[in-house]
Amino acid sequence: MAKETGANIAVAVSALDVYRVASAVSIPVFVQHVDTARYGSTTGHIVPEVAKAEGAVGTLLNHSERRIGAGLFENIVRAKEAGLFVVVCAETPEEGARISAEASPDLIAVEPPELIGGDISVSSARPEVISGAVSLIGVGKVLVGAGVKNAVDVSKALELGASGVLLASGITKAKDPEAVLYDLVAGLKYA
């Protein structure tokens, strides 16, 4: 679909699936999380260099389902040391700005927790979150997520200054994920 539409699409998968997915697709594959661990005694940890060796080009850190807390800065540093592209999730524009200033990840994905997995997108319910995030974090540095389900949501997010969207439940819970993905990509053309 990325080749067909020209859309910049990446997928974030479990560390257990990175090699299999990266071997099967031509789009960038991100690992859903990495730890600060280094090679050695790291039972149960996801070593950033191992994720990269398995085919990951980046990582998604601090997602609402895997918040990191006080150690986030170290996770970002370790991921960047391994050469991974780093996307960090934040609940608010202010949190995103603080993370960006402290650790300089490649992108910040702002997702208001009360809208995640819901039926109303951040573009509709809280457009000021998007424009505020762009204002605080910078143009070209912000993705948004939470409730994004269709081309209108994507188009509005881009109009408000976001560089793209972060998706999960809008695709995974859809009856026809492929059709939904095509609709979402159509939103890129209307911005």
Burial class of residue 6, CB neighbours in 10 A (0-12, 13-18, 19+): exposed
Which residue from 146, 136, 139, 129 is spatially nearest to 161, judged by alpha carbons?
139
d(CA 66, CA 170): 19
Active site residue 33: no
Strand partners, 166: 145
CA 191 to chain centre: 20
Q: Which of 33, 54, 63, 91 is catalytic?
A: 63
Characterize 46-66 residue by residue with b for buried, 16 or more Cβ atoms within 10 angstroms of its Cβ, and e for exposed. Answer: bbbbbbbebbbbbbbbbbbee
Q: Which of 111, 128, 159, 178 is catalytic?
A: 111
CB contact at 8 A, 61 and 44: no
* Residues recognised as catalytic: 63, 111
